[in-house]
Chain A
Amino acid sequence: MSDNTHRMNRFDLMQRMVARLRHEEAVIGGIGHTNFDLWSAGHRPQNFYMLGSMGLAVPIALGVALAQPQRRVFALEGDGSILMQLGCLTTVATLRPRNLTILVMDNGSYQITGGQPTPAAGGADYVAIARGCGLANSVWAKDETDFERLVEESLVGEGPNLIGLKLDDQKPPTQTERDPAQIRDRFMRGLGVKKSKLPG
């Protein structure tokens, strides 16, 4: 039986996570409310906010993790989004990037389009799916304190990891500024890849 009955608030969880990032860890925010709450928790130069390409938070994070194996990388993905690209969990399990952690933000619905239930309403368990794909370090966070412990573990331990988060139905307090070229530019500077004399 999954220990995932406690519903948590996404904005609260993002604040708790961001407060624990002390080494310029990269964070890839999936589309919609997932990255809105990352943004609302306070912009960091190492944050990347998706504005489309639903389902690609994990693949983008995997690319970053492979390119910079010394940097810890987090992929934040909604349940509807991960359903679009479940195959990527098998790729991560095969490549085993030790610096990658995936957060599945499971509110059971397409919240941004009106709260319609996802096709997983029949009882699909994302942590069980991830384990079945070969990601052995996959767990549901029991509560906020457990989430903080799992984030701390993922900052020092061997990945890849996946943390399942059961969410309430609260909406984000603010929306991400939608300027993709600027987001990419800031992210590349934040990762130390781009150097420019133009003010960042």
Chain B
Amino acid sequence: MSQEWHEIVVEALKANDIRLIPYVPDNVLKPLIAAIHADPFFTAFTAAREEEAVGIVAGGAMAGMRGMVLMQTSGFATLANVLASLPCAYQIPVLLMVSERGTLGEFNTGQAAVWRTMRPTLEALGMEYHVITRLDECGFIVDRTVKQALLTQQPAALILSPLLTGGKISPVKARG
């Protein structure tokens, strides 16, 4: 039986010694968050804002504890200033994992609108990012993106597409 996407992510994080996981929760991330909390290898906890979590991972990385921030698309949209002025400017390998909302069946107009800002923001920041769409590519993309971020001292983002996770589907049927 093949592994689930979140099991593959946990394996890649452990293989690269990524231990510090502050997050702002998201429905799609639930199984990953649960798996990380269940494993004493990780130090995982909620942060009040994604900016705060970026600061925590930046501090941890400079002090020798590697980390990754978990969030959803709307959370990423709050980050341009701190990404530009902390991990980008100081060359700190802050890793982001973004559960992608706002596309491929989104039901919330606010999420769909904020989704359109994510890739342009990453491009404008000059940040390395990859979108994970397939289970058979998941381990390779996570492992190599993490390794490159660490070796080049640069932040990077991993976007979990609904094609990989199933996304979050509408609780109601379309009308009209």
Contacts and interface: CB of A to CB of B under 8 A. Distances in A.
Contacts of A56: 51-52, 54-55, 58, 82, 86
Contacts, number: 123
A55 interface: yes
Contact of A91 (B52, B54, B57, B92): B52
A184 B92 contact: yes
A162 interface: no
Given A60-B58, A63-B61, A193-B64, A55 B51 contact: yes
What secondary structure prevails in chain A residues at the interface with B?
Answer: helix
Interface in B66-113: 67, 81-82, 84-86, 89-92
Given A63-B59, A85-B49, A180-B89, 20 more contacts: A52-B86, A53-B81, A54-B81, A56-B58, A59-B47, A59-B52, A62-B56, A63-B56, A63-B57, A66-B60, A66-B65, A67-B64, A85-B48, A85-B51, A91-B46, A180-B91, A184-B92, A188-B62, A193-B63, A193-B64
Contacts of B54: 53, 56, 59
B45 A91 contact: yes
Given A60-B55, A180-B89, A26 B84 contact: no
B121 interface: no
Given A88-B52, A90-B48, A91-B45, A62 B59 contact: yes
Nearest to A28: B59
Contacts of B57: 63
A187 interface: yes
B12 to A, nearest CB: 21
Contact of A52 (B61, B62, B84): B84
Contacts of A114: none
A90 B20 CA distance: 18
B43 interface: yes
Contact of B45 (A87, A94, A183): A94
B53 interface: yes
A54 B52 CA distance: 10
Interface in A60-78: 60-68, 71
A51 interface: yes
Nearest to B43: A66
Contacts of A124: none
A191 interface: yes
